[in-house]
Chain A
Amino acid sequence: MKSAGRKGALVIGRPNVGKTLFTINFAEFLGQRRLEVLFRPRDGASYTRLYSIGQARADLVDDHPHRTLCLQSVVLRVPRGKVAWRVVLTDSTGLTDDIHPASAVRRAMADTLRQVADSVFILHVVDPAVPLAGVDLDILRYGRAHDGYAVLANKVDLPGRAAGALALARAAVPVTVVPVSAMTRAGFGEVRAFVRRRL
């Protein structure tokens, strides 16, 4: 299949909302069996590492906040019509409401913000258990003006989240809100459709 071009997609959100798990499982959903992850640390050269999906989940996903401390990208092939696009899906450091005390985290957050400018798609992962506030609200307001922006209301496999996702979808009109579960892959088809429509 002919390659059509390359577009950037940034996965953004608070710490521990499931950005990294979403990135890995979404890559798998799009047919990746192995992940070649490009790490872009600020203090050092960029490097790539090859993972199996299982290894990637074990090594990169963590219950503690700020496990991801630099931009981590994978290249996905998204077919549309007779051509396939390359979508560079970039996982990023969680953004906090306050100024973070650790300089490494602040630096990584600045990189996330930089990446916003280079991305066609902003996939904003939120936990719909609580109403949007603080930095989430700021991202949403920014994203409203951008066609490639969507909110992924994650963790809908957990109790109470589905109702929260629905309430969020109603409140955020006309922004696209996709209820997803990074864990069970629910809603991934819709995310793929969202991206595909805009390629």
Chain B
Amino acid sequence: MLTVGSDGLDGIFGRLERGEMTPGEAFRVFRLSGPKTADLRLEAAEGAGEKRLMESFEELESLVGLAGVKRLVRELHAFIIIQKERTLQGLTTEPMVLHMVFKGNPGTGKTTVARILGRILRNTGVLEKGHLIECERADLVGEYIGHTAQKTREQIKRAIGGILFVDEGYSLARGGEKDFGKEAIDTLVKAMEDHKDELVLILAGYRNEMRQFLESNPGLESRFPIHIDFPDFTLDELMEIADLMLERRQYTLTPESRQAIRGKLLRYRRLPLGDENAGNARLVRNMIERAMRRQALRLVGRPSLSRADLQTIEAVDLVGDADGDAGCPA
């Protein structure tokens, strides 16, 4: 039951009746008359939403590097809150168009950030579900006339209430005028308008390719007001990522194996400029998972194993191999 503290309220009703107070002012007094007025159930629900939002922000902050990306997400969140307050107070608001372009090499955190962003948008009430539907050219482009629009619309339908994340978005423009990719773009553009309040479209891909893609489709650029750059991770950041991944998996490095990882990452960075793996967190993950398998192979025949044995990645687990390390410079 909504209860309002009894003392003093009769006075408020009296003042209202005598014309000494407006109804709005009376409600303000009600509201300020303390937590006892509140039905705590909703406060708890609000608290849970707030908690989920805080968790999403903590997760974002826990990502290594990406300072610019984090700042932009915080800005977006603040903008949404203020726009909502302005709406409530009857002030003009900017239309909240949140379609975005994520530019960066693979493994630089684009999908991870998109997933966190979905949760933040859900918990601020912008998106109903905030889920992420990942797709690429093959999921959108069909093989015959009419097939593309149908496939693209299916993906859009799945993404309503959340984020449609088109990886390697520039590939939709591949293949020239007769390609069905253009039809996919047109269908996406229509959905951006038709479902602008219930769908966020993110086009992701390599920086240069995305730039060319947007330049060659002038109508597109203006529909994506938010562009986020995902820089390659630095060597130190990649090492930090490696440490985090190992910690989560309960493995440890010896000084030698740490040096071995660093050496490998350094060799990648010396590859010709623009190599897509240079600052790639996925590369680190693959390297670590491979080392875990090699460690297992090294240990599997031993008669007795200590806890430390099971946890330690030795340098030998990381050094040169014939299988699965293709592309890694020796």
Contact = CB atoms under 8 A, between A and B. Distances in A.
Nearest to B80: A170
Interface in B92-124: 124
Contact of A170 (B14, B37, B84): B84
A142 B26 CA distance: 10
A112 B17 CA distance: 11
A117 interface: yes
A106 B41 contact: no
Interface of A: 95-101, 103, 106-107, 109-110, 112-114, 116-120, 122, 130-135, 137-142, 144-149, 166-168, 170-174
B125 interface: yes
Given A106-B17, A118-B2, 9 more contacts: A96-B22, A106-B19, A116-B30, A131-B89, A131-B90, A135-B22, A138-B23, A146-B42, A170-B126
A135 B24 contact: yes
Given A170-B197, A174-B42, A120 B2 contact: yes
Contacts of B1: 118-120
Contacts of B41: 147
A97 B12 CA distance: 16
A96 B25 CA distance: 11
Contact of B39 (A106, A113, A139, A145): A145
B90 to A, nearest CB: 4
Interface of B: 1-4, 9, 12-14, 16-28, 30-31, 37-39, 41-43, 45-46, 49, 84, 87-91, 124-126, 197
Contact of B24 (A112, A119, A131, A134): A134
Contact of B27 (A98, A103, A132, A142): A142
A146 B27 contact: no
B88 A172 contact: yes
22 contacts: A97-B22, A98-B22, A106-B16, A110-B14, A113-B16, A113-B23, A113-B27, A116-B2, A117-B4, A119-B1, A122-B2, A130-B90, A138-B25, A138-B27, A138-B31, A139-B27, A141-B31, A142-B28, A145-B39, A147-B45, A167-B87, A168-B87
A97 B24 contact: yes
Contacts of B43: 145
Contacts of A139: 24, 27
B88 A132 contact: yes
Nearest to B84: A171
A146 B38 contact: yes
Contacts of B126: 170
B6 to A, nearest CB: 8
A156 B23 CA distance: 26
B257 to A, nearest CB: 49
A22 to B, nearest CB: 19
